[in-house]
Amino acid sequence: MTTTEEMWKTLYALIPITAKTSHLKALVLTYGHQVVIGRDITCDLQINSLEISRRHAILKSEDNNWFITDLESTNGLYINGKPVIAFSPYCLAIGDKISFGPSDQSKVVFEFVDDYCLSQRRAVKTPKRKLFDLNNENRDQLAVKRARNEWQQLFDSELSCAICHELFITAVSLNCSHTFCQSCIEEWKHSNDNKHHSSDGSDDEEDELDIRVINNDSHCCPVCRQTIVSQNRVLVLDNTIDYILQKWSPKLQEEEKEEEKDEEVSEEEEESEEYNVGGYHCVQIGDTFRRKRYLVIRKLGFGAFSTVWLCLDKKSDEYVAIKVVKSKKCFQESAQEEIDILSRIQSSDPNVERVVTFIDSFKIRGPNGKHVCLVFEVLGDSLMKFMNTSHKHGIPLNILKTIIRQVLEGLVYLHTKCMLIHTDLKPENVLLTINESQIGRMHSEVVDMIGGEKPLPTSFVSTASAKLIKKCDIYFKYDRQKCLKNVVKLNSKTRNNFIHNTISGEENLSEISIKIADLGNACYLYETHNSTIQTRPYRSPEVILGAGFSPTADIWSVGCMAFELATGDILFDSHETVRMSRNANHLKKIIEHLGPIPKSCRKGKYYNKYCTRSGRVIGCKRKSQYIIQSIDKLLVDEYEWDSTEAQKFADFLLPMLRIDSGIRTTASECLRHPWLNS
């Protein structure tokens, strides 16, 4: 066996079992990359200049063997119930049961799938060194959707060979749904291949069994005699485990390559399938709306229900943003409700500073139906996009104070003058303002491209327009065939030059200005409030418990948003687990950071569904199951904030995050807080 030092030199992926992964996407690992799963981020050991955790690591050697080693963990590493000596790598084999500590409850069973090292809880794909968190209890079964869809599916019963009826670990599944053990399928295949070779005289070497298309009609299932089109390899971790790998096929590999090819572009484009009856309207640069009053200049973005376009208002000679809503009836009705609310806001104060300015509305008819169009002032990127582009680990506090102050000023106006509750405050719905010169640059870039040889980015036009140009050519008013043929996909960096004209440089950051947008879900204070509102990470406890809501629900969202902008992480990142629903898990995280649910909040219609009489979450009744950590301690321990600054920020957040909405602070009171004005 190679020495520990030599093995670290050939390290493919370093996976300490105690750090924090990002969710909903694969994390690409590099040499020495620390991946924390739990809350302990102790990291003071170095091997060959690699900074690693003091707990455990999994690695792959040059001879393609997988090893696990214990790096002075607290509980110790146990393989098949036997302890492993620290710093002594153990070569894993199929069926090995790994536990961290002597407890049987934390048992993990590993399997090897080509270049995958797989466990019931996490897996590593070595060619690109991607870590997938499949079912990690420390992170509440945080599951990567892409990994599950690619090679994991639920399996309800024990597997046995259709011929010999023996249980197996490695199996072959045919398109007729019968499954066979390796030995039986090889014997069957060999006998059929011999018949085939004797008939045509071919001496070709036998192909691998893993992925192979068989076009010969003589290949039939040994049980049902159905013709076999293809055969796929399925690997099962254990004959009692609930999860197995999804049937592997070349199609999945092609989809993965296609995903990687368009990974940067896909986030900027709507689905072409949505350009149908009831869906998006086909818009092109040069189109005009409302009797040629509005001229389409370029595309600004899209949402689940609409596309947004930069247009020139020929009447006022100013730039506007026009939201073209999908034509389905429910979207039309929702848009009309939004128009009524926006009109109310505009009539209360036409010069309001912190809420998006609504200018006009009209309807258009296209090949996909009737579309409601809303005209707004032009705004820049959302806070979410701004943070992800420039400040992934948090916005500087002086800028954060400016942003939160302006958001609260907007809420004061909505709550007191308009008598409205926003109900969906989040970074995506707070937009940065831009000036006329920045809008002009966006316009001139398009003009230069159309007039010259430079192709238009796909972000400037509807994604599907080029694909549907032949079908919809009769509807288009201008001949754009030559222009659209030159449309190309730009990489992320190039596209950002067109999209992110909002803010650049620390000097402009000090003058940052925002406006609250997307009031389509807003409701009046005097209405009955029993529905579910707010996007999940910003949802208040009274909404989860079904206890009704008030304007202070918006204040809760601001508190969650302030923490996220300051740290780059969601405060209450909840996920469904085997024992708890997502709502229950959300309440558990609230309790961990803010304390127990007060008796005054136990009147909600869903309280008994998620909580016990004592105020603990169902499925998490023992006190030891809660990781109690106050906001200020969280900032110090996990984000390395100065304790004084963390305490001041926590003092600002806690009144907004009071679990009892009746004593939660208001927007006006928040504006007077010392932290915001320091």
Q: Which residues are marked as active site?
A: 424
The structure tokens listed for 283 are: 């818009």
User: Are the beta carbons of 430 and 407 closer than 8 angstroms?
Assistant: yes
- Helix (H/G/I), strand (E/B), else coil: 292: coil
CB proximity list for 8: less than 8 A, separation 6 or greater: 47, 48, 50, 59
**Nearest-angstrom CA–CA distance, 142 and 23:** 7
CB proximity list for 451: less than 8 A, separation 6 or greater: none
Q: Phi/psi at 129 (nearest 5 deg)?
A: 50, 55
Q: Which residue has the tokens 């302990």?
A: 40
Q: Phi/psi at 174 (nearest 5 deg)?
A: -100, 165
Of the candidates 666, 648, 642, 641, the one whose C-alpha atom is nearest the C-alpha of residue 656 is 666
Largest CA distance in the chain: 90
* Cα torsion 623, 629, 631, 634: sign: negative
**Nearest-angstrom CA–CA distance, 372 and 548:** 31
- Helix (H/G/I), strand (E/B), else coil: 573: coil
R_g (Cα) of the chain, nearest Å: 29
Residue 323 among known ligand-binding residues: yes
**Nearest-angstrom CA–CA distance, 307 and 346:** 23
User: Are the beta carbons of 17 and 53 closer than 8 angstroms?
Assistant: yes
Query: What one-character DSSP code corresponds to residue 427?
Result: G
A 10 A CB-CB count for 119 gives 19
**Nearest-angstrom CA–CA distance, 674 and 678:** 6
Q: Which long-range contacts (CB under 8 A, 24 or more apart) does 600-603 make?
A: 600/660, 600/662, 601/541, 601/542, 601/545, 601/547, 601/659, 601/660, 601/661, 602/545, 603/547
CB proximity list for 51: less than 8 A, separation 6 or greater: 32, 34, 43, 45
Residues belonging to the binding site for ATP are 323
